[in-house]
Amino acid sequence: MEKQIDMDWWVSMPKIELHAHLNGSIRDSTLLELSRDLGEKGSIVFSDVEHAILKNDRSLHEVFKLFDLIHVVTTDHKIVTRITKEVVEDFAAENVVYLELRTTPKRNDSIGMSKRSYMEAVVEGLRAVNTVEVDLGSPNLSMESPLTSSAISNLCDGTARKKIYVRLLLSLDRRETTASAMETVKLALKMRHLGVAGIDLSGNPIVGEWATFLPALQFAREQGLSITLHCGEVPNPEEIKAMLDFLPGRIGHACCFGEEEWRKLKSCKIPVEICLTSNIRTETISSIDLHHFVDLYNAQHPIVLCTDDVGVFSTTLSGEYVLASSTFGLGRSKMFHLAWNAVEFIFADDVVKKELRQIFYSAARKLD
Ligand code: 6MZ
């Protein structure tokens, strides 16, 4: 009972999610349902997929094999729309008030899918959300901006219809070529009015070269897009140095840094997206008490707790806050302020930041 009450508090706390991959955040039930359908059509062997989905411990290598499998199941316009809708509704249900959702635009000629039509299916999913109001920063989708004080108050009580700010990040997969990465950046530029705020570099960290993506990332930055990089998921000092020299808006993970890299990161004050469960499950960090969260937190380095892949790692953002609180001995007030502070690192404009600060301010007076 005590535990249940406690979890309710963490769920009701407003939170900001800045590192969530669409295809890693699918509900298990949806993935199983979709796989069963494909199994019945004979396109896949359902039991193989079921085993991979329900398996709990996965090495980093196995995670990327699972993503290939997930993509076979989900790369279809209608399904992309469905999973986007569900993922946003799930984050909103646990009081995520601002979500940056990232996904890799995919092309699949055999079903007439282009990177653009893939992203249109994502936007369609955002429009289909009906448990919560979605603000994409565009006048036709944002029903109520700026927020009135009663709307802010409603964001924090469980009864009224809530609002979630969603911004999209388009991911470059490390398997892509320079030309393909450039195509994604150009697509992002065309979709800015639909909530696209930036570019992410992700994918299997042992694949691909930094130099391949640099031209597209440079172009993205010149054009005013924000950039976050998966950095140091595996030891690769040369690449980590080059990435930090690039001065991205944020980085994700930072698991395999040496002393020199920590020094550089801290002096540049680049915010770090911390994904505790993901790092432990994939064994990029050997034990949670050795996680760099502690050092960065104590150094007052900008950090934000994130989920990475709630579906693949069976976690939630509230769960990540509980895990950090219990592991590192940080009380509710400190964790609340950590969540509040994340407002400063979002890739949306100052108007949104101001509204989010007000939401946290208002919630601070209600939650004790
Ligand atoms: C690196 C990751 C990742 O884009 O198809 N992705 N890349 N490290 C991780 N940590 C475990 N988790 C997810 O979502 C799935 C894709 O996101 C990236 C991979 O490229 C994966 O294929 P989308 O929506």
Can you tell me the distance from the alpha carbon of 311 to that of 31, in angstroms, rounded to the nearest whole number? 9
Mutate to test the pocket of ligand 1, among 18, 62, 67, 118 (most ligand atoms within 8 A of CB): 67
Whether residue 112 is predicted with pLDDT greater than 50 in this model: the reply is yes
Does the beta carbon of 21 sit less than 6 angstroms from any atom of ligand 1? yes
* pLDDT category of residue 143 using cuts at 50, 70 and 90: very low
What secondary structure does DSSP assign to 231-276, as a single string? E-SS--HHHHHHHHHH--SEEEE--S--HHHHHHHHHHT--EEE-H
Handedness of CA 332, 337, 339, 340 (dihedral sign): positive
Which candidate, 91, 170, 168, places its Cα nearest to that of 131?
91
Can you tell me the distance from the alpha carbon of 59 to that of 114, in angstroms, rounded to the nearest whole number? 31
Mutate to test the pocket of ligand 1, among 60, 202, 207, 231 (most ligand atoms within 8 A of CB): 202
Can you tell me the distance from the alpha carbon of 218 to that of 213, in angstroms, rounded to the nearest whole number? 9
Query: SS3 for 58?
Result: coil
The number of helix segments (H) and strand segments (E) in the chain equals 16, 9
Does the beta carbon of 273 sit less than 6 angstroms from any atom of ligand 1? no
What is the per-residue pLDDT across 13-43, written as a single tens digit (0 to 9) for each?
999 999 999 999 999 999 999 999 999 988 8
Whether residue 126 is predicted with pLDDT greater than 80 in this model: the reply is yes
Q: What is the pLDDT of residue 161?
A: 57
Residue pair 318/15 in contact (Cβ under 8 Å)? The answer is: yes
CA of 268 to the centre of ligand 1 (A): 26
Q: What is the pLDDT of residue 45?
A: 87
Whether residue 152 is predicted with pLDDT greater than 70 in this model: the reply is no
Q: What is the pLDDT of residue 244?
A: 98
Ligand 1, atom 19: nearest CA belongs to which residue?
Answer: 203
Query: SS3 for 105?
Result: coil
Q: Is 233 annotated in the active site?
A: yes
Ligand 1, atom 14: nearest CA belongs to which residue?
Answer: 23
CA of 274 to the centre of ligand 1 (A): 15
Ligand 1 atom with minimal separation from the 252 CA: 8
* pLDDT category of residue 51 using cuts at 50, 70 and 90: confident
Per DSSP bridges, beta strands 250-253 and 272-274 are: parallel
Whether residue 147 is predicted with pLDDT greater than 60 in this model: the reply is no
Query: SS3 for 85?
Result: helix
Whether residue 144 is predicted with pLDDT greater than 80 in this model: the reply is no
Percent of the chain with pLDDT over 90: 84
Does the beta carbon of 253 sit less than 6 angstroms from any atom of ligand 1? no
Helix axes 332-341, 317-328, angle to 10 degrees: 130
| Catalytic annotation, pick one of 133, 233, 273, 355 | 233
Does the beta carbon of 173 sit less than 6 angstroms from any atom of ligand 1? yes
Ligand 1, atom 20: nearest CA belongs to which residue?
Answer: 203
Mutate to test the pocket of ligand 1, among 72, 83, 171, 276 (most ligand atoms within 8 A of CB): 171
What is the per-residue pLDDT across 73-100, written as a single tens digit (0 to 9) for each?
998 999 999 999 999 999 999 999 999 9
Ligand 1 atom with minimal separation from the 230 CA: 1
